[in-house]
Amino acid sequence: MAEPPSPRPPSIDQMVRGLAPTGLPHPLLVDLAREAVAAGDPASAEERAVRLRRSLLGRVINATGVLIHTNLGRSPLPFTSTGSYTNLELDLETGRRGSRQANVSGLVARLAGAEAALVVNNGAAALLLVLSSLAAGRRVVVSRGELVEIGGGFRVPEVMAASGATLVEVGTTNKTRLDDYAGAGSDQDTALILKVHQSNYRVVGFTSEVGVEALSRLGPPVVYDIGSGLLDSDTPWLAGPPPPWLAGEPGARQALQNGAALVTFSGDKLMGGPQAGIIAGRAELVEACARQPLARALRPGGLILEALQEVCLSYLRRHCVPFWRMATLPVDELSRRADCLAKSPDAKDWSVTACRSVPGGGSLPGVQIDSAGLCTPGDRRAALLAAAVPVLARVQDGHTFIDLRTVDPAEEPDLLAALGGAARP
């Protein structure tokens, strides 16, 4: 029996024309068409194109209620670049080369009540630069209760080793007293006392730690890695008082007022800005960090500085950046929005529910913020992620939850389209 003749594969040109609506650039479409033909499955080209399209960075609706969502770039950013030239390293007064840090770091210092500040790529880089600038070849004293791992791979002892500083551990996991530091702190070879905020876990029960104020009287400069980047625990940028769930979170301004020589923190956690790391505090120490050759390797690009500047200006104008606006939305308002959404035919499978948001991003562990949204039985996450604008939802107790605290009202039409597309047949 003769085999049926195999159909001739379509021409690459023809296939590429068919893929044009995906909006991908021509050379990528040619690659995809060729791959599909080589795999003996020309019909798969379209699916390959859709997969590639969705692997690129794009808009996602965060319906998880996790305000600082690590997989979604932590805090949302209120910033679009004009794409024009900027005076990044031009001093407009003199017409000469200026410092890319001068503008924005002054604003950050102003907000934190610091003499000076320096911006680097992330919180880990901030601590690495501080330790290698101020303590390489010398001793740094840290409580055993603060030798933490934060996120994937940021371990304080390893950052310390990479900086060339020698770690001196004091105290125990649950209790460290001032006496424990006193011995280590009076050593001539001690460059710094490091305090690290336990951002992502809590030690409860029989515990004690020593505050910055007492540590700062021991002699060596105290560096406080506050991590989450709460600029001021009095939250002057909010109309009301600080929300109760912030209790215990150290503010940069207060840490410096209480005697820390430097604080380090991330730009994209509670500060609500772009990925960045900030070193703020005493001018001579910040300058020593800026002079270290590593500072150049860790410096942020112009886009980040532009975004951080906008965030700082928002704070100074007492406007809420998106993180703070979302974090403090009243539950009533979210319930009203949920009621409205539930009336849409697209949401016929969903009912209005109370739920709980969390700060996320490895900050404020255990904190929950009352919220409202929609829920439906079963796990609908895959269908929601497959929507044109993907929606990331949360599953709990056998139900899928859409938490409206992290969804911007402007995103609601796309959210409804996703709910409609994910409807049960």
Ligand X SMILES: *Cc1c(COP(=O)(O)O)cnc(C)c1O
C-alpha–C-alpha distance, residues 261 and 115, integer Å: 10
Comparison of 151 and 242: residue with beta carbon closer to ligand X? 151
Q: Which of 143, 199, 376, 400 binds ligand X (CB under 6 A)?
A: 199
Assess contact for 154 and 147: CB atoms under 8 A. no
User: 29 vs 159, which CB is nearer to ligand X?
Assistant: 159
Q: What is the DSSP-derived secondary structure letter of residue 188?
A: T
- For ligand X, which stretch binds (CB under 6 A), given 38-46, 171-179, 195-203, 255-263? 195-203
Q: Which stretch binds ligand X (CB under 6 A): 10-18, 58-66, 150-158, 342-350?
A: 150-158
Q: Are 223 and 195 in contact (CB under 8 A)?
A: yes
Residue spans of alpha helices (H) in 25-101:
26-38, 45-55
In the list 228, 254, 353, 376, the residue contacting ligand X (rule: CB under 6 A) is 228
Only one of the segments 33-41, 147-155, 339-347, 400-408 lies at the binding site for ligand X (rule: CB under 6 A); that segment is 147-155
| Cα 216 to Cα 221: distance, rounded to the nearest angstrom | 7
26-38 and 45-55 helices, crossing angle to 10°: 130
Contact flag: residue 73 with ligand X (CB under 6 A): no
Pairing of strands 394-396, 399-403: antiparallel
Quick one: 98 or 151, whose CB is closer to ligand X? 151
Among residues 315, 48, 359, 6, the alpha carbon closest in space to that of 199 is found at 359
Cα separation of 360 and 342, whole Å? 27
Q: Which residues contact 62 (CB under 8 A, 6 or more apart)?
A: 69, 72, 76, 392, 406, 407
Q: Assess 151 for contact with ligand X (CB under 6 A).
A: yes
227 lines the binding site for ligand X (CB under 6 A):
yes
Q: Does 195 bind ligand X (CB under 6 A)?
A: no
Rounded least distance, CB 319 to ligand X, Å:
24
Comparison of 303 and 395: residue with beta carbon closer to ligand X:
303
**Strand, coil or helix: what is 66?**
strand
Q: What is the C-alpha end-to-end distance of the chain, expressed in Å?
A: 45
Measured distance CA(378)–CA(399) in Å, rounded: 5
Question: Is residue 150 close enough to count as binding ligand X by CB under 6 A?
Answer: yes
| From candidates 45, 68, 116, 124, binder to ligand X by CB under 6 A | 124
Name which of 171 and 277 has its Cβ closer to ligand X.
Answer: 277
User: Could you tell me the two tokens for 186?
Assistant: 């009076």
What is the bridge-based pairing of β-strands 139-143 and 190-196? parallel
CB 160 within 8 A of CB 108: no
Verify binding: residue 143, ligand X, rule CB under 6 A: no
User: Which is nearer to ligand X, 197 or 405 (by Cβ)?
Assistant: 197
| Closer to ligand X by Cβ: residue 130 or 419 | 130
Structure-token match 């410092």, residue found: 99
Interface pick for ligand X out of 100, 138, 195, 197 (rule CB under 6 A): 197
DSSP-derived 3-state class of residue 118? strand
* Residue of 68, 128, 196, 307 interacting with ligand X (CB under 6 A): 196
Query: What are the two backbone dihedrals, phi and then psi, of residue 40, each rounded to the nearest 5 degrees?
Result: 70, 20
Q: What is the separation of C-alpha 401 from the centre of its chain, rounded to a whole number of angstroms?
A: 23
Residue 120 interacting with ligand X (CB under 6 A): no
The residue from 171, 251, 277, 360 that contacts ligand X (CB under 6 A) is 277
Residue 406 binds ligand X (CB under 6 A): no
CB of 16 to ligand X, least distance (A): 41
Paired strand residues for 97: 90
Listed ranges 91-99, 220-228, 253-261, 324-332: which one lies at the site for ligand X (CB under 6 A): 220-228
Q: Which of 42, 272, 360, 362 binds ligand X (CB under 6 A)?
A: 362
Dihedral-angle region of residue 111 (phi above 0 means left; psi in -120 to 50 means alpha; beta otherwise): alpha
Name which position in 101, 190, 216, 266 contacts ligand X (CB under 6 A). Answer: 266
Query: Under the criterion CB under 6 A, does residue 250 sit at the interface with ligand X?
Result: no
Contacting residue, 180, 225, 249, 411, with ligand X by CB under 6 A: 225
Q: For ligand X, how many residues bind (rule: CB under 6 A)?
A: 15
Residues in contact with ligand X by the rule CB under 6 A: 122-124, 150-151, 154, 196-197, 199, 225, 227-228, 266, 277, 362
